[in-house]
Amino acid sequence: MGGDPAGKIDHEQHDFALWEKRVDALLVISSSAGLMNTDSLRRVLEDMGEETYENMSYYERWISSICQNMIEVGAFSTLELATKMELIKSRGATYGDAS
């Protein structure tokens, strides 16, 4: 990565989890609504830094960037996001397992 050794590339395909498909859909919806775009997605992704790149999965980084974009543009507030996250969390750890 960036000219540095980064180990072998994993070429295995994997099925996407339901939540990952939803994250993908969220980007399409919020982009078509004019709330964000590919470049604003990438801006936040790249501002996250190398540590985040190592520690978060692809769609974890995407949803973080989408949330940041939605807060910037005023689609929802930080508090509204926190309240919603608590609500979803209360549905239990297996809520997002369906695919």
Instruction: Please report, as ranges, the residues that interact with another protein according to CB under 8 A.
Output: 2-3, 36-40, 42-43, 46-47, 72-73
The span from the CA of 32 to the CA of 75, in Å, is 14
Q: Which is nearer to another protein, 15 or 39 (CB)?
A: 39
Of 21, 56, 82, nearest in space to 44 by CA: 56
State the minimum distance, in angstroms, from the CB of residue 31 to another protein: 11
Residue 51 CA, chain-centre distance (Å), reads 16
26 CB-side CA count, 13 A:
19
Give the burial class of 36: count Cβ atoms within 10 A of its Cβ; 0-12 exposed, 13-18 middle, 19 or more buried. Answer: buried
State the minimum distance, in angstroms, from the CB of residue 35 to another protein: 9
Q: Which is nearer to another protein, 36 or 63 (CB)?
A: 36
State the minimum distance, in angstroms, from the CB of residue 14 to another protein: 28
Q: Which is nearer to another protein, 17 or 73 (CB)?
A: 73
Q: Which is nearer to another protein, 46 or 97 (CB)?
A: 46
